[in-house]
Structure 1
Amino acid sequence: MSIASELDKAQKLIGQSKYKDAQAIYDRVQPSLERISSYDLTVKYYGDQGILNFYQGDFTGAFSKFEMAYEQAVDNKHEIDQMRYLNNMGAAMTYKGDLKGSVSVQEKSITLAKKLNDTLQLSKSLNNLGLVYDEMGELDRALGLYEKAIKLKLTLGLKEEALTTRLNIAGIKLALGKKKDSSLIQSALYEYQQILKDAQELDKPKTTLQALNNSAIIYKIQGDTARAMSVYKDVFKKAELLKDDEVYRVAALNLGINYYQKHEDDIAAKYLFIAEPIIESNSMPTERAKLYKYLSYLYKAQGNDDKAYSYLESYTLAKDSLSNELLQDKIANFEIKYSTAEKEQEILKQRATLAEKALEIQKSNQVITLVSVGAVFIFLLGLLFYRQQKIKNAQLTKEKELEKAMAQIEIQNKLQEQRLRISRDLHDNIGSQLTFLISSIDNLNYGQKLGRQTTSEKLSELSNYTRTTIDELRDTIWAMNKNNISIDDIHDRTNTMVAKININSQDSFLVETQFEENMNITFNAIQGMHIFRIIQESLNNAIKYAQAHLILIKSAKEENNLIITIIDNGKGFDIEQQSLGNGLKNMQDRASMMESNLEITSTLQEGTHVALTIPI
C-alpha cells in the first residue's frame, strides 16, 4: 500500500475515534516518508497527526505537529495550507490556555481566509475566536461569534463541521441559563440530545461523549444526581477506552467534584488526582481553576492547611489570568479589523451592483438615442443622484470621524480613571508601608548603637512588613486588570488572605469565613476593591488591637442588599471615647463612595461587630 493510501486510512480511523490504530500507521510510514521529498505527503503527515493529538486531548503535541505543517506550508509558499494550520494552531493554543497567542494566529488565519475567499476556514476562525471569549466568560460576545460560524458552515452544507459549534452554542445557553434565564437550561439539554442523535448517525464517538457529559451537567442542575453520576461514569470508562484525554479528564474532574459534594472525600480525591496531571499539561485556565479550587477544599477538610493554601493560590492565579485587560483589547482590535473587512466586501458588492446598473442605463440610452428629451432627463437624474450620493458620502465621513473622536475620548477617560484608582491605592497602602520600612531601617541603625532590640528581631519585623506590602501591591494589580469583580472573586481573595493569616497565627487565634454561595452579584473594579479593602482593614484591626480568639467574616444576600460582617470576640472598645483613626475613616469613606452603609458597634470585654450594607 502506498504512503498516500496509508495516510488516508489513518485519517478515516481518526474520524472513527480509533486513535491507537491511526498512530500505528503514522509510526509505520515515518521511515518511508523520510526517504522521499514530497510536500503534499509531509504536510498531511504532520497536520493529520496534529488532529489525532488534538482529539486525544494532547494539545501541546497537537500544536507542535500543526506548527511543523505550517512551517512546511510557509517554505513552499502554500497560502491555503498556511491558513488551515494557523487556524488549527490557534485552537490548540486556546485549549492550552495561551489566549493571547491564539488571538494572534487567528488574526493571521482570518486575514488569509478573507484574501483567499475561503468561507470554511473563516467559519473555523470565528468559532475559535468565540472559544477565547467563552473561556474569558464573555458569553454574549462568544455566542455572537459562534452563530456567525455556524451560519457559514450550514450555508456550505457542512453538517459534521457544525457539530462542534453546536456544542459550543449549547454550552453558552447552559451558562446563561445558570446566570440569567433558567428556561435556557432546558433548551440546552434539548440541543445536546439532538447533537447526540446526529453524532451517532455520523459515527462521531468523541462528539457523542461530549454531548453525554454536558447532558449530565444539566441532570445535576435539575436535581437528578444519580442519573448525572451514572452518565459521568459511563463517559469516563468510554473515554479511557478511546484514549481520549480531553473527555477523560473532564469526566474525571466532574466525578471528583460530585463525590466531594456528596462528602465522599476518598473517592473524590481518586478522581481529582486522575484529572490533575492531564489538566495541568493540557487544559484551559477554567478547568485548572476548578481543579485547584476543589483540591484546596479537599485538603482543607483533611486539615492540611499548607496544601489547601497552595492550591488556593494556584486557583486565584488561574482565575485572574482570564481577566487580562490587554487580552481583551487585543481581541477587540481583532474584531474591529474583521468588521472592517466585512464592510469593505459589502462596498465592493455595492460597486459591482452600481456598475451593472450603469451598463443597463448605457444600453437603454443606445435604444433611445433619438429621443433627446429622454436623454436630457436621464442625464439630469444621474447628476442629481451623483450629488446626493456625494453629500451622503461626506456625511458618512463626518460621522465616522465623530465616532473615532468619541472613541478616543472614551479611551482617555478610562485611562484617567485607571490612573486615579492606582494612584490612590498606592498612596493609601503601599506608600505608607514603604515609609514605615524606611523608618524601621533608620531605627534599626540607631537601636544597634544603643544596644536595644536585636537585629534579627527587627529584620524579622521588616520581612513580615515587606510581605504585607507585596500582597497590597498584588491586590491593587488584581483589581486594575479587571473590568468587573464578582462577589465570588472577593470571596476567593478573602479566603486566600485568611488561609495565610491562619498559617502564620501559631494557633493564637482563628479566622473563619461563612460565605453564601451562588449569589451572582457583580461590581465594577473600583467598588470591588473598596469592599475588599474594608474587609481587609476590619480584619487587620481585629488582629492588631482586639486580642480576639475568634474572628468571623460572613456574607449574605438580604432582599436588595449584600451584607458583609466581620465579628470578633476580643476586648472591644468604647466608641464614644475612641477617636476616629485613619483606618476607620478610610473604611467610612470607601463605604460612602459606594453609597453604602458601614456600621461599627463594640462592647467592652465582648467584642466588635462591623457590618457593611451594600445596595444591589
Structure 2
Amino acid sequence: MKKSCLLVGFFGILLGAVAVAQKRTVPQSADSLVQFLTTSPKDTLYLQALADYAWKKVDASEYKAADSLAKVLLTLAQQLKNKKGAFDSYDLRGRSAYVQGKYSEALDFYKKTLQLTKSSSLGASSQQRALTNVGMILHLMGNNEEGLKYVLESIKIFERERLPKLSGSSPYDIAAAIYHLQGKNEVALKYFQQSLEIKTKEKNYRGLAVTNNRIGSLLAEQKEYQRALSYLQKADSYAQQANYEAIMVDIAINLSSVYRDLNKPKEDLAALKKGEESAKKLHLTHQLGAIYGNLGQYYQSQKQFEKAEMYLKDALSIFKEIGSLEYQGYIYQALREMFVEKGDYKQAYENQQVAQKLSDSLFSQQQKARMDELSMKFETERKEQQIKLLQKESELQSQQNRLWLIGGGLALLLALVSIVFVINRAKYRRLRESLQLRNKIAADLHDEIGSTLSSISLLSGLTQKQLAANQPQKAEQMVGKISEDARQMLESMDDIVWTINPRNDSMQHLFTRLREYAKPLAESKEITLDFATDAQVESLSLPLQVRQNVYLIVKEALNNAFKYAQASQINVEFRRQNDEWNVAVIDNGVGFDVEAVNTRNGLKNMKKRAEEIGGTLLIMSQEGQKSEVKLQFNL
C-alpha cells in the first residue's frame, strides 16, 4: 500500500512539472521578453527568448546591443551544448553586420552558420537559411558566380524537402537579382514571380514588400515605368503593413528613379530626402550610398553640377568603404555621364576607364559561361528530383493498390515522363551550348568594340575642346589616337565576324587568313615569310573556340615578331605528331629574355587562350638567338 502511494505521489509530481513546463512559453513583446529573461532559468527556452530579444534590437537598429546579446547567447549555448543557440548567435551577428554594410564580417558569421548545419542535425530549414545568407553576401560583394551556386543549392533544398516556408531571405529573389545583372531579365522575372507566390501563400508581408520592390526596379530599367510604379506602390503598402522601415528606404530609391523618368522632379526629390532621413536614422550604410548616388543624378538633371558631383563622390566613398564593386561601377558610370554633360571630357574619359575595369572584373567571359553551365545543371537536377519524386509516389501507390492495371498505367506514365525528361535534357544541353556561344560573341563585341567606341566618343569631345581652346597640336594627337582606335576596332570586328562564320572551320581557311594578315607586314619590313604545313593538317576541321584561339595566338606571335625581333626570316609551321597538334612561329631575330617579358599582357593573353583549348604555350628564346613560340593542343 505504501509503495502504491509513493508511485501515485511520484506521478503527481511528474505531471505537475510537465504542467509547469507547458505553461512556460517565450513571450512576444520586448517588455515581456525582458521579464522572462530576468526570472527564467538558463535553459533551452531561455536561449530562444534571448535570441528573440536580440532580433528585436536588430530590427530597431540597436546593433551594439544586439551584438552584445548575441555574444552572451553564444557563451550560454556552448555551455549547454546547444547548437541551435550557437546558430542563432552567428545568424544575428551576420544580420547586424550586413545591414551596416560590413559585408566581409557578415560573410564570416554566415559561413559559421553553414558550418554548424553541416556538422550537426539542425535540419534542412537552417541549412537553407545559411546557404541563402552566404549567397546573398557574396552577390553584394560582387562574387556573383559563387553567390549563385549557394542560392541555387538553397532553392534545391527548399523544393526537395518541401519545406513549409522559406527561412530568412528569399533565395529566389537573390537568384533573380544575379540573373538580372547578367541581362537575363526573363529568367529573373520568373524567379521573382516564384518568390511572390511563396510569400503570398505564407502571408509574408515583409517579403512581399521586398520582392515587389525588386520587380519594380527591374521594370523601371526596362523603361516600363507605369508597371514599375504599380509594383513599387504595392511594395510600399506591404512595407507599411509590416512596419518594415528599412525596406522603405529601398522603395524610396526606386520611386525616385521612376519619378525622374516620368519627369516629376518634386516627387523625385521628396522620395530621396525621405529615404536619406530613414537611412541615416537606421544606420543603413549601403542604402545611404544608393540615396547619395540618386541625389547626384537628380541634381545633374537639374544642371546643378557641383551638388551632383558632391553627392556622387559621397556615394563612391561609401561603396569603396564597404567593398561593393558593383555599385562602385554604377557611380563611376554616373560620374562619366555627368562630366560629359558638363563638357569635361578628360574626367569623363578617366571615369569611363575605371567603370570598364570594374565591369570586366565582375563578369569576365569565362565567368558568364560557367554561370550558364551552373544554371543549366541546376535546372537539370531539378528535373531529376521531380522524376525521383514521381518514382517514390508510384512505389507508395503500388503498395497500397496491387491492381495490375493501375500499376501498369503508373509504369507507363513514368516511362513517358522519363522520355520527356531525356528529350528535355538534350534540349537543355543544346541551349547551354547556344548560350555559351552567344555570350562569347557578345563578350567579344563588348570588350573589343564597346569600350573602343566609348573611348572614341570621349576623345572626340576632348578634341573639340582643344580646337576651341586653339590647341591644334594636342588636337592632332587626339585625332591620331582616334584613327588608331578606329582601325583596331575594325580589325577586331573583322576577326570576330570571320571566326564565327562556319565556312571558315577548316585549317586551310585559317592558313589563308593568317597569310593575308602577315604578308603585307612582311613585305613592308622586307622579311621573308614562309608557311609550312602537312597535307593532313590542311583538311582538319576546327571547332569555333579552337579556331578563334589558335588564330589569335599565332596572330599575336607574328605581330610581336614583326615589331621586336629585327628578323629577316619568319617561319610559321603547322604539324601533327601522333594525337598532338603543334603550331610554331620561328624567327631568326635578336631574341629576348623570356623571364623579363613574361608579365606582358600580350603573352599572358596568349597563355590564357592556350589554356582555354586545353593546350600549352611554350616560349623559347635567348638574347642574341632565334625565338620560337610553340602552341601544342589535342582535338
TM value normalised by structure 1: 0.60
The question of whether the paired residues in 2 share the 8 Å contact of 1:296 and 1:307 is answered with yes
1:264 correspondence with 2:214: no
Percentage of identical aligned residues: 15
Amino acid at match of 2:194: K
Question: Letter of the aligned partner of 1:40 in structure 2?
Answer: K
TM-superposition CA deviations, 1:214-236 (whole Å, max 9, x none):
11211111111122012212211
Matches within 5 A, 1:517-528: none
Asked if residue 509 in structure 1 is aligned to residue 509 in structure 2, the reply is: no
Q: Which residue of 1 aligns with 2:253?
A: 213
1:537 aligns with 2:577: no
Which residue of 191, 205, 230 maps to 1:190? 230
- Ranked by relative contact order (alpha carbons within 8 Å, sequence separation 6 or more), the top structure is 1
2:131 matches 1:165: no
- Corresponding residue of 1:55: 99
Task: Report if the CA contact (8 A) 2:245-2:278 is conserved.
Answer: no
Question: Superposed, which structure 2 residues align to 1:33-432 within 5 Å?
Answer: 38-76=82-120, 78-80=122-124, 81-118=126-163, 120-121=165-166, 124-176=170-222, 178=223, 182=224, 185-282=225-322, 285-297=325-337, 307-321=347-361, 323-348=363-388, 350-351=390-391, 354=394, 358=398, 362=402
Cα distance, 1:534–1:308 mapped onto 2, change above 3 Å? closer
Q: 1:262 and 1:506, CA in 2 relative to 1: closer, same or farther beyond 3 A?
A: farther
Give the whole-Å Cα distance in 2 for the aligned partners of 1:17 and 1:37: 30
* Cα distance change of structure 1 residues 188 and 18 upon mapping to structure 2, 3 Å threshold: farther
Are 2:289 and 2:314, in contact at CA under 8 Å, matched by a contact in 1?
A: yes
CA RMSD in angstroms comes to 4.4
What displacement does 1:68 show?
A: 2.5
Q: For residues 222 and 335 of structure 1, what CA distance do their matches in structure 2 show?
A: 36
Q: What is the match of residue 59 of structure 2?
A: 15
Counterpart amino acid of residue 243 in structure 2: D
Alpha-carbon distance in structure 1 between the residues aligned to 2:235 and 2:229: 10
Q: Relative to 1, partners in 2 of residues 1:24 and 1:238: Cα closer, same or farther, differing over 3 Å? A: farther
- Could you say what secondary structure the match of 1:120 adopts? coil
In structure 1, the partner of 2:585 is none
Matched to 1:244, the amino acid is: L
Residues 33 and 42, structure 1, Cα contact 8 Å, conserved in 2: yes
Instruction: For residue 492 of structure 1, report the CA deviation from its aligned partner.
Output: 3.0
CA contact (8 A) 1:325 1:481 kept: no
SS in 2 for 1:117: coil
State the partner residue of 2:566: none
- Aligned mates of 2:354, 2:341 — CA distance in 1: 18
1:51 partner letter: R
Q: Is the Cα–Cα contact under 8 Å of residues 91 and 110 in structure 2 kept in the other structure?
A: yes
1:599 corresponds to which residue?
none
Could you report, residue by residue, the CA deviation over 1:184-239 in whole angstroms, capped at 9, with x for unpaired residues? x2222122222212212211111122222211211111111122012212211221
1:252: how far off?
A: 0.5
Residue 494, structure 1, aligned to residue 456, structure 2: yes
Q: Indicate the residue corresponding to 1:470 in structure 2.
A: none
Cα distance, 1:199–1:96 mapped onto 2, change above 3 Å:
same
SS of the residue 2:170 aligns to: helix
1:223 maps to a residue whose letter is N
Q: TM-score, normalised by structure 2?
A: 0.58
Opposite residue 352 of structure 2, the aligned amino acid is: L
Partner of 2:559: none
**Residue type matched to 1:12 in 2?**
K
> Structure 1 pair 137/282, CA: closer, same or farther in 2 (3 Å)?
farther
Amino acid at match of 1:139: N
Q: How far is 1:103 from its partner?
A: 1.8
Q: Which runs of 5+ in 2 are unaligned?
A: 1-36, 492-518, 522-635
Deviates more, 1:16-25 or 1:51-60: 16-25
Matched-pair contact (CA < 8 Å) for 1:216–1:231: yes
Q: State the AA in 2 paired with 1:82.
A: Q
CA positional deviation for 1:93: 1.0
* Aligned residue identity for 2:486: Q
Contact 1:133 1:141 in 2 (8 A): yes
Q: How does 1:561-580 map to 2 (within 5 A)?
A: none
C-alpha separation in 1, matches of 2:432 and 2:207: 39
Offset at 1:168? 1.6
Checking the alignment, whether the CA contact within 8 Å between 2:452 and 2:489 is kept in structure 1 is no
Please state how far the C-alpha of 1:497 moved relative to its aligned partner.
6.5
Contact residue 280 and residue 288 of structure 2 kept, 8 A: yes
Cα shift at 1:48: 0.9
